[in-house]
Structure 1
């Protein structure tokens, strides 16, 4: 129903995935991927209609026919958008370049260093708490600049971003933390491919012209022009190669707000949020709780496994949890979702509006909605992460899923009974 609601305004919003995790044990309490795989579809032969539902034809991804065979919670990467900002904040805190309460940044609607990346609004003076609450791009670009790219990468990897979680499900993929080496390798390939095509075009152009030349003078003139164009092309190649393969200041700014080369799975995102919530233990997510024999004898009990304890301080974690709670309070970007929750079940969260980075998409108007959260704030038990492709704002798309999941978990509202009743009516 949430996807149906979104599709009225955003027709491409047909895909979503979400994970709910026990922050203390790593147990996956719920996982979904939509469009969903229906086991009964695989009884007997699959019709051509069903085959297209699971494996749509075409050489490129079509969001209107996305395919259901992929478990997008563990097999699809997404830009995290502003849900990456807690990483930036922790990097700045660990580097000693930010006081979360006293250090203010003045936001006038965009960052003051080129390329002047715009903010979500004009926020005035903001600190860590109000910057997180309003999702201020200006604040977090400045914190990323102060922290440096090296520290952003260090903290991101410390929290498991860019690596497989090792969940007990097949075919998990890993995300990507942007680094100077990553950029160099990627753009080396792209730039060389581009200029190889341009060199070939130039060669073919002059082959045709030379073949049609009627005199030696004309041939000499064409060869002279060809040489001039080749020289100009190679000079531009050197400029583009040297610029595009080197890490630039704007790469750090983009990374700081969850754009650029940031790409992560939903399971990576929930694991990172769980580590913030539980005090710094990066847990191994697991679906299986125990293995029993046919007569119910317990053959194996799956015990919690800590992948590692993150290196950031307990103070940094505590300050970041407090900042994330501000997202659901007052004028925070997710306050409207959790305003009815009791004081003993406060929620820490971060909303995300992420550029899709897909060829052909409108970079100014098409976004994935991303949302992460944990609760209760004082003694966290669960963490959530979810994405709705083309859902626009995280709070207004997958944030509603988080709200209802938390209501169900904490007994605030019985959505199961309501959904069952709706099906029978």
Structure 2
């Protein structure tokens, strides 16, 4: 182990502490941290991702916090953040998350590509697809689109410069938390997994554009699913295993064979997370410079006239990236311009912002549409106990006439409360 590795292992946050991401806009992070601090949480920044934090003090489970309830934090093992970090997507680029549900890595990718980029999050199974969409909506990832194709048959030519392939695997790297995986998936029972992984690699290689980057990752320590698969794909499709830089905050073991030289094998216990395997495949021995980022279409949000006529509240449309907001049946849906060309010819869904048959009611979680304080009815709270009262289903005095009002913690927009008479409530839908 290198001296840097020892320093990482000795870090105060190398221990198996809870990690999470601040799932808000970059300029909102200090306000979210202030909300967490007001609830008694203490934490510190992690070095491998701007939004990543490590808990130092957890007065109650982080998932029960107000910040979590309003979709401002996402609990995630640190090793799970590494594959999208290694993909290295830049602001404005498009990335394909081929096996996306529940959307944890999609969120990291969305942070990296920013508002003018695109993440296509794919999941074929209905229940997992619904979970994926619910998570993306709660986190307000309006630059993410969802598709539901079998990943091994994902349509389209090789046009993706950034592909994340986090494959189904035996999960041996999670054995400290899920010991049953060692008996569920043995060397004698993993043949279906190995076959599926190769089919997924085959399709991902075909979808990769010249000069693109494909990240293959697993949460297992099994060589057959890691080095052997990467070596097979490199030989089969004329790809190269590129050397990934050792991300700070992790301890890495040597790869098990030279087929995957340059890949990263995370030592979970020493890193304070799960054991993971991450490899980059591409054309040529070195990573090619990423293409210049571009955004098609207009630079503003286009709102259908029937949407404007049905809304009864002031809305901050400029809180959305370039795209269009229109009714699809009874739902108000936002589709980013970044998806119109990239996903042309594919069946995909954007973000649901509201719904209604006659009138139009915004989703309580559409915090990107909340205007500045005072631009409309505004419920501004500075006490955590009031936030918890709303979350527990209690009502508070309404700031003005309905049907909805913007909800804020200090100056941080949280979403929308429903106004009924002189009281307002948080519905959480």
Question: Is this a same-fold pair by TM over 0.5?
Answer: no
Could you tell me the TM-score, scaled by structure 2's length? 0.27
Could you tell me the TM-score, scaled by structure 1's length? 0.28
Structure of higher RCO (CA pairs closer than 8 Å, 6+ residues apart):
1
Q: Which has the higher helix share?
A: 1
The structure with the larger Rg is 1
